[in-house]
Structure 1
């Protein structure tokens, strides 16, 4: 018990002292009195996530008696709306989770406390760099996740071999977009009428942005001008963004893309290529044992790109003692607890220590590409601006229209107008907050 408590105090298995608290810091390494903290957790889509959190709360409360965590049952409905309403009313819990790119608007609005002072150097060194990057806004760390995400093309190697198609070995030899178009033609000749799954039923949701912003990035475009974050004009609707989305639309117009209304295009064998994320790994490998590989997304001109970021934990402003909250958050980042969650949801473990204890993501594992992308710079964060909610709504809507056949440039022009209106409405999000 003494060893366990010591591990919790020092940030799990990372046994150095916390940085000392400065004037605007959250942690000083001390919990003066027994503390109680409240916790919110979103309504998960993956079965088992909520039970994993409940088990973590029980394990933590049993292991020590300085901090007691109470998991609050949140009402059904839009979780993000619930968080915004609670923030406006000053009723946020002491710890809550949120989808990673929403962090920036919460930090800008003053809803969160920075946690730089809580995270020891040894834990920082063990975390995936993408987890730290996605949790950072204006040079401060505001959130940490216990798992990350990744994109790639799931392919059936047996089918590609029959079509005479090479299988990329890593990011450095990703298929070019033109090469990939030729591959789709070969697969159709082989008998696969609609060989590509793009998860189109979710095109107008966050998937549209997370899944296909990397095509824009790979072409040399972006969703907003990132040096100032003051406009999307000339970038989101610029020639490189238009070119990338025209290529994607071309695959749909040629009939290569399965509508996937039954969500089984890859599993049932209609589409031997699926452009999707890590969360399909279990179901895909179960459907085609020994005949699934993950390769990088196509290179649209400047190298293959991919996404990063998943749900993160943040410490709301005005809540319980920061060290008490960090005590529990550091417990969640212990290898056993990271793996408890990723075993439940299929996520990519957030720490190197946990990664090397997995079969899929460890060196030589079948899903190792995700780690290489997250560590090697192929993965990029979604725009790190409080305007992100407006950006993703506008881009996903445009992407869905484009894949249904709308003219590319006008759809992107409309998205730019929506983004720039949000920027103007908020004074371009000044650093001082609202």
Structure 2
């Protein structure tokens, strides 16, 4: 089984939380489907709409998207979903406590980066047959499904999608003599464009990044490694490839931009909270950012969007967001699946997700009546099909935790002399295997 990558995360799953889940769930893989001769692929795909009350939890970071889907479903179904929104920083401890008490909701949405821990602990039901029965199963964003697959059993599907893409200021491109309709197709070309814009001088800078933010690096730099056909870890997420030549080639491009002062002031100290707020000010030429920031772009300049390229070409993206599944505590799995399946259908994906400029979870709907009004949305939707979601049981502790080993590795290389790369990568390995 090929396991894909994952998304940004802000907190780590502690041993205590995971222990609670393990003790409560015990790795139960019961599919929760209704038995008997009456089962059909149609019933598996649709579930039941019998007036059940379905409980659902989501973190505050995805509240808006989740609430829109819940409201639309409740308005058109006998089943009714009761959504509970929990502060993002409190979400994992709350889920762990509920699992320990056997009180998980029917439907559980989770930052996709933490899905492996919870599928391994048995917090989700096996929904392989339900997913495979969907008429559009092959068109779903496979990266979310893969990261929740354990021993061949699928446990989650996409709920919300957040991708990393290049944003570029078309006005500054034109001023710098660049073609505003020709974004960079290689990371080398990206650097050339950044240098050209930076040469405009004044308050203008070529690019910017979260230089003190581990999650920012993985979200925006790893796609360039994948675009080259390389991996960042092994299949099991226990061995780092982040000192390999393909990774070094990416670091070298960015290191050159730092050394030549092509990056905006504050880059080295940016820890994450405000890193996406710099580009909208209109003085940055080109930089990778979350696709969800497209709706926040001002109308004072024209913004272009493009896939993140590799050093010599190719393209990829970090497929983040939340995955969703039926919890192992649910006593109404058929009703719970009715809601989940509906959120992936044409009506929900087009009239709820796409209409609100969010990324659709299906590749066959990348072009739709709403995205077609803005070619940038089509670009974002299409790149999801070539993206990855990294798999690791120790992702948060290793890559997102400011005290983890990944941040020193990349900072020592980009802002230092890079001499400690092998040693720093050994620390990453140790964290992944602990």
Give the structure-1-normalised TM-score.
0.76
Q: 1:381-392, aligned counterparts within 5 Å? A: 381-382=389-390, 384-392=391-399
CA contact (8 A) 2:251 2:410 kept: no
Cα pair distance change 1:237/1:403, threshold 3 Å: closer
Cα pair distance change 1:230/1:156, threshold 3 Å: closer
Shift in Å at residue 311 of structure 1? 0.9
Shift in Å at residue 276 of structure 1? 0.9
Q: 1:329-368, aligned counterparts within 5 Å? A: 329-339=340-350, 341-342=352-353, 346-352=357-363, 354-360=365-371, 362=372, 365-368=375-378
Q: For residues 151-198 of structure 1, what are the alpha-carbon distances to aligned partners after superposition, in whole Å with 9 as ceiling and x for unaligned?
A: 22212234323323345758xxx5333333232222222236653444
Aligned residue number for residue 191 of structure 1: 201
Q: For residues 235-264 of structure 1, what are the alpha-carbon distances to aligned partners after superposition, in whole Å with 9 as ceiling and x for unaligned?
A: 222233223223213212322122377654
Matched, 1:252 2:296: no
CA contact (8 A) 1:112 1:317 kept: yes
CA contact (8 A) 2:69 2:343 kept: no
* Pairs aligned (count): 384
Aligned residue number for residue 161 of structure 1: 174
Secondary structure in 2 matching 1:347: coil
Aligned residue number for residue 52 of structure 1: 68
Q: For residues 102-122 of structure 1, what are the alpha-carbon distances to aligned partners after superposition, in whole Å with 9 as ceiling and x for unaligned?
A: 211211122111211222241
CA contact (8 A) 1:205 1:396 kept: yes
Shift in Å at residue 221 of structure 1? 4.7
Matched, 1:241 2:254: no
| Counterpart selection for 2:290 from 241, 256, 277 | 277
Gaps of 5+ in 1: 1-22, 426-434
| Counterpart selection for 1:43 from 33, 54, 60 | 60
Cα pair distance change 1:186/1:356, threshold 3 Å: closer
Aligned residue number for residue 93 of structure 1: 105
Cα pair distance change 1:297/1:70, threshold 3 Å: closer
Give the structure-2-normalised TM-score.
0.76
Q: 1:364-375, aligned counterparts within 5 Å? A: 365-375=375-385
Aligned residue number for residue 213 of structure 2: 204
Cα pair distance change 1:211/1:339, threshold 3 Å: same
Matched, 1:105 2:117: yes
CA contact (8 A) 1:149 1:308 kept: yes
Matched, 1:305 2:316: yes
Cα pair distance change 1:269/1:74, threshold 3 Å: closer
Distance 1:342 1:324 in 2: 22
Secondary structure in 2 matching 1:257: coil
Cα pair distance change 1:294/1:345, threshold 3 Å: same
Cα pair distance change 1:341/1:400, threshold 3 Å: farther
CA contact (8 A) 1:112 1:142 kept: yes
Secondary structure in 2 matching 1:413: helix
Secondary structure in 1 matching 2:430: helix
Superposed CA RMSD in Å reads 3.4
Aligned residue number for residue 19 of structure 1: none
Cα pair distance change 1:304/1:143, threshold 3 Å: same
Cα pair distance change 1:69/1:280, threshold 3 Å: closer
Q: 1:421-432, aligned counterparts within 5 Å? A: 421-423=431-433, 425=434
Distance 2:58 2:186 in 1: 40
Shift in Å at residue 411 of structure 1? 5.6
CA contact (8 A) 2:105 2:330 kept: yes
CA contact (8 A) 2:141 2:362 kept: yes
Distance 2:172 2:75 in 1: 46
Distance 1:200 1:127 in 2: 31
Shift in Å at residue 38 of structure 1? 1.7
CA contact (8 A) 1:148 1:308 kept: yes
Aligned residue number for residue 142 of structure 1: 155
Aligned residue number for residue 239 of structure 2: 231
